Amino acid sequence: MSWYENAQAPWIYVSRRLITARLVSLWITMGVLILVGTAAAVLGSLFWLLLLPAAAVIAGLWGTFLVFRQVTAHAWAEGDEDLMVKRGRMFRSVTVVPYGRMQFVDVKAGPLDRALGIATVQLHTASPGTDASIAGVPADEAARLRDRLTTRGEARLSGL
């Protein structure tokens, strides 16, 4: 289901490995909270402190739910003239970026992303409002996407 159907090009959904990446970083944070909270509660015999790990577990489960929903809604489409990026389910947005407006493209991948073979591709325009980053693009595809975007951007380059 898509709330915005573009006529130009099919949506390409991001890799499911992004779910793993986001879950790992989410549960590392939550794990630390759970461990610290439990240890403090047990060692200090302050059992109300157990609320902290309990809250962390609930937040973690909610976060897990959100990660699944968000990642499966995150997609991009390469039209003839514009790149489209779709994200979110509850707070959803579609950004349409003309290739000619592209100033530069970033490809970023942290250690976890590299281990999973994914990367974030971000398109920058002269506007700070343009939110055109695509997370969870398979690494080889990210490089190709960057090259394609650069080529198209140069072909259609216009001033500001």
Partner 1 sequence: MTEHVYSAPRDWTRVHPVSPLLGGWAFFGLLAAYLIHQRLPDWVDGGDETFAFFDRFPLLGLIVAAFLGFLVAISVSVWQWRRTTYRIGDDAVYLRQGIVTQQQRQARLDRLQAVDVVQPLLARIFGFAALNIQVAGGDKSGVELKFLRLGDAEALRNEILALAAGARDTRDDAAPGQAPGDAPGVATGAAPASAPRLRDLGAHLSERADALSRPDDILHGTERVRTAVAATEERPVYSVPPGRLFGSILLSGATFTLLTMLLIGGIATLFFNVDVLGGLVAAVGTSLVAGVTAIAGLLGIFWTRFNGGFNFAAGISADGLRLRHGLTETRRQTVPPGRVAAIRLHQPLLWRAKDWWRVTINVAGYGNSNESVSVLHPVATRDEALRAVWLVLPDLGDPDPAGTLGRAMSGVGEEGGFLTSPDAARRLDPFQWRFRGVRATDRALLIRRGRWERELFVVPHERTQSLGLTQGPLRRSLGLANVEVHSTQGPVKPVAAHLALEDARVLLDAQAERAREGRRHQTPEQWMRAVGLHG
Binding site for partner 1 (CB under 8 A): 3-4, 6-7, 81-82, 90-98, 100-101, 125-132, 156, 158-160
CA angle 43, 54, 116 (to 5 degrees): 105
Of 98 and 117, CB closest to partner 1: 98
User: In whole angstroms, how close is the CB of 160 to partner 1 at the nearest point?
Assistant: 5
Of 84 and 135, CB closest to partner 1: 84
Q: Are the C-beta atoms of 96 and 76 separated by less than 8 Å? A: no
Q: Are the C-beta atoms of 82 and 133 separated by less than 8 Å? A: no
By CB atoms closer than 10 A (0-12, 13-18, 19+), residue 25 is middle
Token pair belonging to 29: 């944070």
Of 95 and 150, CB closest to partner 1: 95
HSE-up of 97 (CA within 13 Å, CB side)? 32
Of 6 and 38, CB closest to partner 1: 6
User: In whole angstroms, how close is the CB of 66 to partner 1 at the nearest point?
Assistant: 13
User: In whole angstroms, how close is the CB of 133 to partner 1 at the nearest point?
Assistant: 12
Q: Are the C-beta atoms of 98 and 156 separated by less than 8 Å? A: yes
User: In whole angstroms, how close is the CB of 151 to partner 1 at the nearest point?
Assistant: 18
